Amino acid sequence: MKKFTILKSIPAYLSLVNIDTDMIIPKQFLKTIKRTGLGKNLFFEMRYDENGKLNKDFILNNSPFNQSKILIAGKNFGCGSSREHAPWALLDFGITCIISSSYADIFYNNCFKNGILLIKITDDEIKEISEYSNRKEEISVNLVDQKIIFGNKKIKFEIDQFKKKCLMEGLDDIALSLEKSDKITSFEEKIKYTKPWVFND
């Protein structure tokens, strides 16, 4: 998982509310267990028409938003099923930060586990920042100081400190386990002597 400290990008603003995980990545693309290759199918039913051609009216199909790393979204983003393919698709497209006023809980946690920073701010603050998307101007997200910087303004955001540590150090669940590898090895060695039958084939 890549480390996250400071991110600068022109944000893409998707104002729809209640975007569920089936809208983020439809069920027909859930057969894979790979984390790569899903980006092309992100928001599939909105990005493509019935003939499979790009919908020019959808924001992520147009420059510079097709290169956006920051997505500003309507409230209750990521509701619906708990599919982890949703953050995989967002990440594979290049989105590493989402700003909204609210998220579904499971989606919220899944994103952090996959290296995507989710920021909660008020609807009024969303409206203010969205103007920078409309003007195609860059904003900055500073995780170290927990601030969104746009123009000469700053918005402070809250984040769980453990989630912050994991993002800044690039620690996913596997990396967190490996940090305790010495203790795991020590425990296994102890078990070999106290309960040797556990290791019998």
Q: Calculate mean pLDDT across residues 61-86.
A: 96
pLDDT digits (tens, 9 = 90+) for 111-121: 999 999 999 99
Domains of the chain and any CATH numbers: 6-169 (3.20.19.10), 171-201 (no CATH)
Q: What is the pLDDT of residue 55?
A: 96
- pLDDT at residue 123 tops 70: yes
Strand partners, 73: 14
Q: Could you tell me which residue, 172 or 97, shows the higher pLDDT?
A: 97
For 75, half-sphere exposure in the C-beta direction (CA atoms, 13 angstrom radius) is 8
- pLDDT at residue 7 tops 90: yes
pLDDT digits (tens, 9 = 90+) for 136-186: 999 999 999 999 999 999 999 999 999 999 999 999 876 666 566 677 667
Environment class of residue 34 by beta-carbon count within 10 Å: exposed (0-12), middle (13-18) or buried (19+)?
Answer: exposed
Q: What is the pLDDT of residue 196?
A: 77
Strand partners, 99: 72, 119
Contacts of 4 (CB under 8 A, 6+ apart): 96, 97, 115, 117, 143, 167, 168, 170
Q: Calculate the alpha carbon distances from 193 to 35, 165, 167, 200 in Å.
A: 40, 37, 39, 12
